Structures are given as C-alpha cells and as structure tokens.
C-alpha cells in the first residue's frame, strides 16, 4: 500500500512538471493586433470570436485606423454635421460609417463598403433638378419598395427631358463612376397573398428614336460625355454617366456636376422612372445590383 501511494505521488509530481504549451489565447494583444491589421473588417469580426486576446485586439484603434477612409473626419462631419471623432473609438467610427447614413434632408445616403472600405454615395430623385417635376402633367412621385428612398420620379410625357444634379463631398483618393438608376415602365403594386411589384410598360415611348446624353464635370476640369438609347423595359438598370478621379494630394471636397438629357423636341418621351444617382468606386461596379 505504501508502495502504491509512493508511485501515485511520483506520477503526480512528474505530470505536474510537464511544460505548459502556450496557445492562441496566450498571445499578447499587441501581437494579435498586428495580425488583424492585415485582414478585412469582416474577417476581423470573425476572428474576434476566437478568444479573449483576439476579442480585445479587435478593438485596438491601430487595427481600424487602416480600414477607415483617409479623410474619415471630414466624411463624418459631412454626414453628422459635427465629427465627434475624439469621443469615439476607431471601431465605433467604422461601424457608423459602414451603415447606410442619410443626410441632407434624407436626399442622400453614404456608406463605406465592408469588404473594400471604399466610399459609396447615392442621391435620391428628390435631390436632383428635374425639369418640369412640379407639373403633374409631366411628372409624378410614386411610392415604391423598389427604391432605397421609398419613392421614385415617374415621367408620363414631356418634350424637353433634363435631369441634373451636383454634390460637394470629401471623396477619398481613387477612381469613381457615376450611374443613373432608371427603369422604363411604371412600378405597380400587385395585390394578393404576396404584395409584389410589377411594371406597366404601356406609356413607354420616344426613347428608341434618339439617344440620351450623359455628362459629368468636376471643378478641376474633368469632363466626360456619352450617349445611348434606352431600350431595356421592365427592369431597373444602372446607366453609366461618367468617371472621375480624386488625386491623393487633394485636400478639399470634390465638387461634382452630372446630367442626363434628351432635348430633341421633335418628339415626346415618356414612361420612364428615375430612382437615384449612384457614385461608386470604379473597382466595385460588380456590386451595383445591391444598390
């Protein structure tokens, strides 16, 4: 019995003297933060669930500083009216900017893409200058769930078609593309067990005769112009209005003007919905269907 007790004690002593192998949870947060800095925001949030070290490091300002747009303070001030940057941690700022934020009386929305951290902007039809918009003989506002702004401008018929807009915004450096979100046809709600939207194409006319001209200007002299006929009826499409570049050395907000016109008065045009104008990083064009 004494021998058995002695062997038990010896075995217990030898097992307790084995070296402890460190795991991921033993890594210093500063080291974990260096790893997280090389991941995109979605991956950072996933890795933060691994253990306490990764969770703590995922809140480090150094991790999120590189994910924020370079001029995020100006963007925050433009959207909120005041930056409040000193009161927020970098992760909180990123979380705020990655949401869709409305400003300018809900006529504009801006957000940061969660994968690329690029800035995206959308301007509602009610934030654009539309010739004849207040004359109900030509235009009407239609509420619809198919728009992120809950309504679109619908053209019954007009001779002189012109939609234009402008914006001054602190875009980060990069190349951007401007698109007009349009639909040939009137959105109509179909009642039944499922209330879905369909498209009435009865009033579409005039768009296959002459092309529509799209133009874009910036205050530093950039200009682009293109034209195309509107032919796809019954579905929403993004029509390219032009590209512009924001240089790395630019420190002031970018002033941008854009337009869409068909002013050949030999025929009328009608049956067109104007939803919004989208300013998107040129590298993210494939994500336009989400807008």
Q: What is the pLDDT along the chain (291 residues), one digit of tens a residue?
A: 444 444 434 444 444 566 666 666 667 888 888 888 888 888 998 988 888 888 888 899 999 998 898 888 899 999 987 756 667 899 999 999 999 999 999 999 999 988 778 899 999 999 999 999 999 999 999 999 999 999 999 999 999 999 999 999 999 999 999 999 999 999 988 775 556 778 889 999 999 999 999 999 999 999 999 999 999 999 999 999 999 999 988 888 999 999 999 999 899 999 999 999 999 998 877 777 666
At residue 221, the pLDDT reads 94
Together in a domain, 126 and 50 = no
Together in a domain, 226 and 164 = yes
Its pTM stands at: 0.84
Q: Distance (Å, rounded) from C-alpha 104 to C-alpha 78? A: 9
At residue 5, the pLDDT reads 42
At residue 84, the pLDDT reads 64
At residue 290, the pLDDT reads 66
Q: How wide is the angle at C-alpha 52 spanned by C-alphas 51 and 57, nearest 5°? A: 105
In a domain, 258, yes or no: yes
Together in a domain, 133 and 247 = yes
Question: For residue 61, what are the contacts with CB-CB under 8 A and spacing of at least 6?
Answer: 89, 90, 91
In a domain, 130, yes or no: yes
The DSSP result for the chain, as a single string, is: -HHHHHHHHHHHHHHHTSPPPP-GGGS-HHHHHHHHTTS-HHHHHHHTTS-HHHHHHTT-HHHHHTTS-TTHHHHHHHHHSS--GGGS-HHHHHHHHHS-EEETTTTEEEEE-TTT--EEEEEEGGGSEETTTT-TTTEEEEE-TTSTTSEEEEE--BSSEEEEEEEEE-PPSEEEEEEEEEEESEEEEEPSSS-EEEEE-TT-BSTTTSPEEEEEEETTS-EEEEEE----BSSEEEEEEEEEEE-TT--SPEEEEEEEEE--TTS-BB-EEEEEEEEEEGGGGGGGGG-
At residue 16, the pLDDT reads 55
Nearest CA to 186 out of 157, 210, 158 is that of: 157
Together in a domain, 119 and 180 = yes
In a domain, 74, yes or no: no
In a domain, 166, yes or no: yes
Together in a domain, 135 and 239 = yes
In a domain, 264, yes or no: yes
In a domain, 71, yes or no: no
At residue 268, the pLDDT reads 94
Together in a domain, 141 and 279 = yes
In a domain, 75, yes or no: no
Together in a domain, 36 and 153 = no
Q: Which domain holds residue 113?
A: 108-290
Together in a domain, 21 and 158 = no
Together in a domain, 157 and 278 = yes
Together in a domain, 175 and 237 = yes
For the chain, how many structural domains are there in total?
2
Together in a domain, 17 and 127 = no
> The CATH number of the domain where 197 resides is what?
2.60.120.260
Question: What six digits make up the tokens of 246?
Answer: 């924001």
Together in a domain, 114 and 187 = yes
Q: Distance (Å, rounded) from C-alpha 178 to C-alpha 213? A: 14
In a domain, 14, yes or no: yes
């Amino acid at each position: 019995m004494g021998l058995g007790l002695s062997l038990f004690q010896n075995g217990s002593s030898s097992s307790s003297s084995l070296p402890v192998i460190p795991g991921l949870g033993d890594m210093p947060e500063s080291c974990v933060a260096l790893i997280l800095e090389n991941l995109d925001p979605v991956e950072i949030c996933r890795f933060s669930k691994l253990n306490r070290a990764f969770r703590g490091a995922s809140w480090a300002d150094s991790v999120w500083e590189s994910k924020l747009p370079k001029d995020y303070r100006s963007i925050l001030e433009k959207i909120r009216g005041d930056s409040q940057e000193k009161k927020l941690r970098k992760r909180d700022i990123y979380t705020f900017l990655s949401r869709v934020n409305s400003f300018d009386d809900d006529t504009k929305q801006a957000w940061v893409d969660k994968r690329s951290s690029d800035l995206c902007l959308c301007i509602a039809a009610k934030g654009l200058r539309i010739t004849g918009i207040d004359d109900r003989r030509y235009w009407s506002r239609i509420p619809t769930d198919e728009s992120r702004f809950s309504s679109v401008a619908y053209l019954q018929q007009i001779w002189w078609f012109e939609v234009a807009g402008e914006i001054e915004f602190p875009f980060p450096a990069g190349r951007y593309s401007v698109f007009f979100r349009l639909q040939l046809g009137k959105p109509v709600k179909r009642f039944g067990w499922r209330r879905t939207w369909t498209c009435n194409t009865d009033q579409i006319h005039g768009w296959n005769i002459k092309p529509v001209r799209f133009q874009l200007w910036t205050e530093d002299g950039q200009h682009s112009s293109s034209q195309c006929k509107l032919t796809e009826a019954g579905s929403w499409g993004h029509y390219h209005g032009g590209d512009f570049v924001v240089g790395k050395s630019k420190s002031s907000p970018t002033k941008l003007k854009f337009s869409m016109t068909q002013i050949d008065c030999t025929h009328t045009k009608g049956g067109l919905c104007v939803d919004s104008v989208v300013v998107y990083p040129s590298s993210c064009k494939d994500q336009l269907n989400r807008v």
